Amino acid sequence: MQKILLASLISLSLVACQKAPAPAADAVVQAPGAVEPASPTAAAVPFADTLAQLVSGTHRSTENIARNEARHPAETLAFFGLAANTNLIEIAPGGGWYTEILAPAVKTEGSYTAIMVDPAATSSERAREYNEKANKALADQFAANPDLYGQARMLAIDPKNPVLGDANSADMVVTFRNIHGWANSDSAAPMFSAFFAVLKPGGVLGVEQHRAAAGTDPKETAKKGYVSEEYVIGLATAAGFQLTEQSEINANPKDDRDHPSGVWSLAPNLDVPEAEKAAYSEIGESDRMTLKFTKPAA
């Protein structure tokens, strides 16, 4: 069951999404049988400057800005084709690291909706508490700076029965490092089907995810935070998407994926003994796939 979160803190209303995404970035691999990227728009060139300003903006903490080096946000969003007039949905934004770039970027000409987990849809007290805390934190973030975030919205869903908005209404859906969690909770297929349903024909699904080795079992690797590219591509194509492009923007060959606490052994968590933190810090953040999918034109 959907509901608007924390109405007493911030007015969050659902609207239909309307405009088309910008073209993908250069230096990417074209997937076999993929559809052509969207046509360039006048907003695409100056928008690069907007992203450059936002990723290092004064509204971001020093710690978050420092992570730009590992996460390449401007390059990643250019690859997905984000534009100022994109009606955008971000899935499970967590602490809002990308949100503080995305929501301001589209606030004037497009729209931003954060999809959160409804605490009532979770099966454990720990999960309910986590989602209640995360949802309140993001609502507080929006409420504290309305000039920055504009009319940013939040929508709570049940991941096993998700509806993200009106059918064929969004230009772009993005998700960052979430798919292992859905694999662990048997909600990956419903989520990808919901992405497909909410996107317009020609709309884009942008995925960044911790990458397991090819041929590995997602039920096992997801426990450590990783899933393979073939698993993600399989989920997307089963939902109806076409793989448009693949990028190594967020690759990290230092990550051998063999860590005692999985991906959480690496930065920024560094869930390892104190004596090992320097060595794990040297590895950097995880090796990540960056994939762009398109909903075929009707």
Residue 70 half-sphere exposure, CB side, CA atoms within 13 Å? 22
The answer to whether residue 40 sits within a structural domain is yes
User: Hunting for tokens 């100022």 — which residue is that?
Assistant: 84
Of all residues in the chain, what percent carry a pLDDT higher than 70?
A: 85
153/169 Cα distance (integer angstroms): 15
| 10 within a domain of the structure (yes/no) | no
**Does the pLDDT of residue 17 top 50, yes or no?**
no
Averaged pLDDT for residues 65-80: 98
- The rounded percent of the chain whose pLDDT value lies above 90 is 83
Q: What residue type is 142 in one-letter code?
A: F
Whether residue 258 is predicted with pLDDT greater than 50 in this model: the reply is: yes
**pLDDT value of residue 46:** 82
19, part of any domain: no
The verdict on residue 278 lying in a domain is: no
- Given a cut of 60, whether residue 106 has pLDDT beyond it is yes
pLDDT interval class at 5 (50, 70, 90): very low
How is residue 40 written in tokens? 């360039």
Q: Measure CA 108 to chain center.
A: 21
Residue 6 lies in a domain: no
Give dist(CA 262, CA 92) in Å, integer.
20
Q: How many domains does the chain have?
A: 1
Confidence of residue 44 (pLDDT cuts 50, 70, 90): very low
Q: Among positive and negative, which fits the CA dihedral 232, 25, 15, 4?
A: positive
Instruction: Give the domain extent around 168.
Output: 29-253+290-294
Residue 94, token pair as written in the block: 């967590």
- Residue 12: CB atoms within 10 A of its CB come to 20
Q: CA nearest 78: which of 249, 293, 200, 288?
A: 249
Q: Please, which residues bridge with residue 112 across strands?
A: 88
Is pLDDT above 60 for 144?
A: yes
CATH of the domain at 93: 3.40.50.150
Determine the Cα–Cα distance for residues 275 and 246; give it in Å rounded to an integer.
Answer: 37
Categorize the per-residue pLDDT at 123 as very low, low, confident or very high, splitting at 50, 70 and 90.
confident
For the chain, the DSSP string reads --B---TTT----------PPPPPPSS-EEPTTPPPPPPP-TTHHHHHHHHHHHHT-TTS-HHHHHTHHHH-HHHHHHHHT--TT-EEEEE--TTTTTHHHHHHHHTTTSEEEEEEE-GGG-SSHHHHHHHHHHHHHHHHHHHH-HHHHTT-EEEEE-TTS---SSTT-EEEEEEES-HHHHHHTT-HHHHHHHHHHHEEEEEEEEEEEEBPPTT--HHHHGGGT-B-HHHHHHHHHHHT-EEEEEE-TT--TT--S--TTGGGGSTTT--S-GGGHHHHHHH-S--EEEEEEEPPP-
Note the pLDDT of residue 212.
98
Dist. CA 179–CA 235, nearest whole Å: 10
Structure tokens at 76: 């990643």
Please give the mean pLDDT across all residues of the chain.
88
pTM: 0.85
Residue 272 lies in a domain: no
pLDDT at residue 189, rounded to an integer = 98
Has residue 155 got a pLDDT over 50?
Answer: yes
Flag whether 271 is in a domain: no
Domain assignment of residue 1, yes or no = no
Q: Is pLDDT larger for residue 90 or for residue 8? A: 90
Residue type, 288: R
